[in-house]
Amino acid sequence: MVKIKKTKRPSWDEYFLKIAEMVASRSTCDRCHIGAVIVKNKVILSTGYNGAPRRLPHCDDIGHEIVGGHCIRTVHAEANAIAQAARNGLSIDGACIYLTNSPCYDCFKMIINSGVSEVKYKNFYMSRYEASKAVFTLAKTSGVKIIKI
């Protein structure tokens, strides 16, 4: 009898987070590379990375537009993934979004309104500490699960 060596496969969470990391490599803002992958029933619906709005020059090309310590030119990865799904007519209601970093407060509100029911992230991102902590309070109130992987 031939002994079969079983291949170690990543879990679904590991798999989608690795894809989010690859998506982040497309970021056009060198201050922070963040990736997002929206998944439903183990199928990728949309991806997004942080960068300038469509058809506008990238931070990497013309520099940052800094206000209050933040680059206001950049559209966040979560927003880009949600917008991409909308542009393609895809419902993300009940989906899970995988992120390389935890979402900011504004993106989390957008996640709630989009119908995404679960957020899984790799690293905690602290932009403005109180607002970053408030995301977790908002998660409890909204019923959207937020899980560090």
The pLDDT tens digits for 20-36 are 999 999 999 888 899 99
Give CA–CA dist 64/47, Å, rounded.
23
Give CA–CA dist 115/11, Å, rounded.
24
Residue reference for tokens 């403005």? 128
β-bridge pairing 66-67 and 96-101: unpaired
Q: Tell me the longest C-alpha to C-alpha distance in the chain.
A: 68
The structure's pTM equals 0.90
Residue 32 in marked binding region: no
Give phi and psi for 146, each to the nearest 5. Answer: -130, 120
| pLDDT tens, residue order, the chain (149 aa) | 788 888 899 999 999 999 999 999 999 988 889 999 999 999 999 999 999 999 998 888 898 888 887 788 899 999 999 999 999 999 999 999 999 999 999 999 999 999 999 999 999 876 655 667 789 999 999 999 999 99
What domains, with CATH codes, occur in the chain? 12-148 (3.40.140.10)
In DSSP terms, which residues pair with 49 in a beta bridge?
Answer: 35
Residue 104 in marked binding region: yes
Residue 70 in marked binding region: no
pLDDT at 36 (0 to 100): 99
What is each CA distance from 33 to 30, 42, 62, 76, in whole angstroms? 7, 24, 17, 10
Catalytic residue among 14, 21, 78, 118: 78
**3-class DSSP state for residue 118?**
strand
Residue 78 bears catalytic tag: yes
